[in-house]
Chain A
Amino acid sequence: MGDLALAAAQAAVTDAFRSEWGRVVGYLIRVTGNWDLAEECAQDAFERALERWPRDGVPTDPGAWLKTTARNRAFDRLRRTRVGDAKLKEMTMLTPANQPTEGGDTGIDDDRLRLMFTCCHPALPIEAQVALTLRTLAGLSTPEIARAFLIPHETMAKRLTRAKRKITVAGIAYRVPAAHRLGERLHAVLVVIYALFNEGYGASAGEELIRRELCAEAIRLGRLIAELMPDEPEALGLLSLMLIQDSRRGARVDATGELVTLEDQDRTLWDQAEIAEASRLLDRAVRLRAPGPFQLQAAIAACHAHARTAGDTDWREICVLYARLCDLVPTPVVLLNRAVAIAMADGPAAGLALVEELEQSGALRDYYLLPATRADLQRRLGRHTQAADGYRRALELAPTDAERRFLTRRLSELSSDPR
């Protein structure tokens, strides 16, 4: 065999891993009911593909080959145990691997969708939901997930084990929820995908490569759910929102690794193809006439994306969108962002009043962006002593080095100002 053929077969396995892993695991969980067995046998099937495909050629339907191989492996392993024997009888009654489940491979009856809803069941802790989604659906290994979340491998392994145990012992059903529960459960899934995205987007220093991978995985999962549930406007809204945020990736950090605010970003570096796709998705979502928090956030992000310069930003429109967002989800973070928009539309004093109100309510006490925002508005009002206090407080709370450096820079700009 030539090197080229070998490389082609290996590339085919890598491609199949990306596109088929979630399907193979999802299918095996459905037929065996055993999450660990499903993961192990899926892993085996991909290892076998690495041996066989270079020798025998890539099968015409790689997904079906992988499912059949993984299922046979599961059969073999179950045959060796008594509990497995009973399970096996049950399994042979089920549909063979190469046939789609009832309803076909797209639409509501997809194994990956089942997997997603089960991983994101609200009875599981949110960190476990995110980790389980990455492991079973996206196929990241436990050490990779542990690295991405900056926690020890052992801790992550325990977290995954506990989550899988709870699914089995507490009887979390492996299915897409009933229609009357679908709305709230879909929201939970979207929140997990967005948390994943933000985990990657929030940090720009340190583990940058792995972090970027998290954003890419979140977008991939967002695409999947938007494709599987094309009439759910919030799923389209989330994908649109992530794409717009991702379009700024190249402009968010400068050559020296420093954070650049939206206002100061070089807008020619924004990925216009992503922005265009995001706009199309948002248009589709809006036509479904069921507004929701992700669509509104995407619409706000789109206002920024379509402004050619920071000065062109339509802050009036953004204020209107924030008002609607506050009606739906009046969380302190949304209120803080709205205060910033109002400061841009009506002047820093109007925004500052809202920020101070928020501060007095005691919300966001440990959130660095609260004192940082107050300090920015005070700076713009010329109250430099107060602003300096705010930046110092924000510095104590800021989570990453890049953010601390940014605040230090702002603080030093103040001190060099004669006023």
Chain B
Amino acid sequence: MRYALLVCVPETEELSEADSERQYGEFMAFQDEMEGRGVLLARERLQPTALATTVRVRDHGLVVADGPFAETKEQIAGFYIIECADLDEAIEIASRNPGARHGTIEVRPVWEI
């Protein structure tokens, strides 16, 4: 089974350089572990939503705007695509992601054809 793990964390928090470095290290350790385990198919970290652009095509044509409109506190900061046995294993992997401790990991099954 393939799953996307969407790492949703609060964007508001400002981290000190030391904290930021520590957090980076934790994510790297997670990534190394999952690569070692052979479950990681893809992964990307995303720039903050302040740098996002939204695009819509409506009746009146193209609408381009700044940022997402969603008012949710947690935003997607990155994602992984993993391949593992079942949901329980995906949950176990998600629980080891550092983002799970201060944000939420959304585990979504990939649409298999």
Q: Which A residues have a C-beta under 8 Å from some C-beta of B?
A: 121, 123, 169-173, 177, 181
**What would be 11 A-B contacts, judged by CB atoms less than 8 Å apart?**
A121-B87, A123-B91, A170-B87, A170-B109, A171-B85, A171-B90, A171-B109, A173-B86, A173-B87, A177-B88, A181-B88
Q: In whole angstroms, how far apart are the Cα atoms of A241 and B70 in the complex?
A: 46
- Asked whether any CB of chain A lies closer than 8 Å to the CB of B41, the reply is no
Q: B78 to nearest A CB, angstroms?
A: 21
Q: In whole angstroms, how far apart are the Cα atoms of A167 and B85 in the complex?
A: 14
Tell me the interface secondary structure of chain A in the complex.
loop
Smallest CB gap from A174: residue in B:
B86
Establish whether residues B86 and A172, one from each chain, have CB atoms under 8 Å apart when the complex forms: yes
Smallest CB gap from B109: residue in A:
A170
Question: Within 8 Å CB of B90, what residues of A?
Answer: 171
Establish whether residues B86 and A169, one from each chain, have CB atoms under 8 Å apart when the complex forms: no
Question: Within 8 Å CB of B85, what residues of A?
Answer: 171, 173
Smallest CB gap from B91: residue in A:
A123
Smallest CB gap from B111: residue in A:
A169
Contact with A along B89-113 (1 / 0, CB 8 A): 0110000000000000001010000
Q: B93 to nearest A CB, angstroms?
A: 13
Interface size class of B (residues with CB under 8 A): 10 to 19
Q: In whole angstroms, how far apart are the Cα atoms of A177 and B87 in the complex?
A: 12
Smallest CB gap from B3: residue in A:
A171
Contact with A along B38-64 (1 / 0, CB 8 A): 000000000000000000000000000
Smallest CB gap from A172: residue in B:
B87
Smallest CB gap from B84: residue in A:
A171
Establish whether residues A169 and B109, one from each chain, have CB atoms under 8 Å apart when the complex forms: yes
Question: Within 8 Å CB of A172, what residues of B?
Answer: 86-88
Question: Within 8 Å CB of A121, what residues of B?
Answer: 87
- Asked whether any CB of chain A lies closer than 8 Å to the CB of B1, the reply is yes
Q: B6 to nearest A CB, angstroms?
A: 14
Q: A128 to nearest B CB, angstroms?
A: 15
- Name the 8 nearest CB pairs between A and B, nearest first: A173-B86, A171-B1, A171-B86, A171-B87, A170-B109, A172-B87, A170-B87, A169-B109
Q: In whole angstroms, how far apart are the Cα atoms of A171 and B85 in the complex?
A: 8
Smallest CB gap from A178: residue in B:
B88
Smallest CB gap from A122: residue in B:
B91
Question: Within 8 Å CB of A173, what residues of B?
Answer: 85-88
Q: B27 to nearest A CB, angstroms?
A: 25
- Apart from A121-B87, A170-B87, A177-B88, what 7 extra A-B contacts exist at CB < 8 Å? A123-B87, A170-B107, A171-B1, A171-B3, A171-B85, A171-B86, A173-B85
Q: B72 to nearest A CB, angstroms?
A: 20
Q: A113 to nearest B CB, angstroms?
A: 16
Question: Within 8 Å CB of A123, what residues of B?
Answer: 87, 91
Residue of B1, B3, B85, B87 most packed against chain A (CB within 10 A): B87
Question: Within 8 Å CB of B87, what residues of A?
Answer: 121, 123, 170-173
Q: In whole angstroms, how far apart are the Cα atoms of A363 and B34 in the complex?
A: 41
Q: In whole angstroms, how far apart are the Cα atoms of A169 and B86 in the complex?
A: 10
Question: Within 8 Å CB of A177, what residues of B?
Answer: 88
Q: A114 to nearest B CB, angstroms?
A: 13
Q: B110 to nearest A CB, angstroms?
A: 10
